[in-house]
Amino acid sequence: MGNLIASVLGPSEANAGAATSGWNKNQSQEEFMYKDECILLDKDDNVVGHANKKVSHVFSQEAPRALLHRAFSVFLFDNQGRLLLQKRASTKITFPNVWTNTCCSHPLYGFEPTEVDTPADVASGTVMGAKRAAIRKLDHELGIDPGSLDIRQFKFLTRLHYWAADVVTHGTESPWGEHEIDYILFIRADGLNIKPHPEEVDDYKYVTLAELQEMMKPESGLLWSPWFRIIVERFLVNWWKDLDETFKTDKWVDLKSIHRFDPTSEHMGGAGKASDWLDTTPEAKLNEQLSKPPSS
């Protein structure tokens, strides 16, 4: 791991993201790349270390899918059952100009109180680290006042393991991409004052399921994040069709599985020449079956 980090950044840059309990939401995109410390994982979501955001997202021959790290995806619904979408800013380094769910980012190493969840946190469904990170980033990206959200209202549904090369933005030899175990967080909140950060978000929109499905048709010409497309195609219709059931029961809660998916062909390749990997495993096929609701 140390040799890989040095090969990407060089010795001085590799240490630029030393752990800190402070965090400045007004940093530039480049500063976040060097200073934010992602939580590195093995394939079973066990913490094995940390590395700055740049190292964690570089696709190369040494690391064809970069470094597996922890992430979260927030799906925020209003009281009409509409989902808040955002369009990632054109200035984002990875996956700019794409529409996606409310907020997608990383819990970070080095915070107090911690954003690092343990296996016990996952087993209990509490995952307070991911939820704290979600509130921090909803403030940063969308200007949502942390005081307007109740951390206890986040519902942790499950985890997804996926990867995607950002070849749409950066070409077939793209050095950038994502490789994450993503914690899915649902929340309902109304009356929010949204003030998007211009370096993070170009647009936002509340949509119904039918409106989202219309927006995602190819003829719309809109770009979508690869993780959101996977979630929509594999899970979201079931989770969304009865929000009361999703929030008030555990029908869709799966704390044991890590659902594993490769991206669509448009997000394969990159500098590491990455191709089919996760969907070819027996575990992935089993997880796809587990994404279906239990029979009554």
103 in catalytic set: no
| Residue of 38, 103, 104, 200 marked catalytic | 104
| Higher pLDDT pick, 59 / 18 | 59
Hey, which residues does 201 pair with through a beta bridge? 88
Q: Measured in whole angstroms, how far is the alpha carbon of residue 284 from the centre of its chain?
A: 19
For residue 18, the model assigns a pLDDT of 34
| Residue of 37, 178, 180, 200 marked catalytic | 180
The DSSP-derived string for 101-156 is SSEEE--BTT-SS-----HHHHHHT--HHHHHHHHHHHHHHH---GGGS-GGG-EE
Residue 53 has pLDDT above 70, yes or no: yes
Per-residue pLDDT reduced to its tens digit, 101-120:
999 999 999 988 999 999 99
CA distance 232 to 242: 15
200 in catalytic set: no
CA distance 17 to 31: 9
Helices and strands (H, E) in the chain, number of each type: 12, 10
> Whole-prediction pTM value?
0.86
For residue 16, the model assigns a pLDDT of 33
Per-residue pLDDT reduced to its tens digit, 224-276:
999 999 999 999 999 999 999 999 999 999 999 999 998 888 898 988 898 88
For residue 25, the model assigns a pLDDT of 73
Residue 11 has pLDDT above 50, yes or no: no
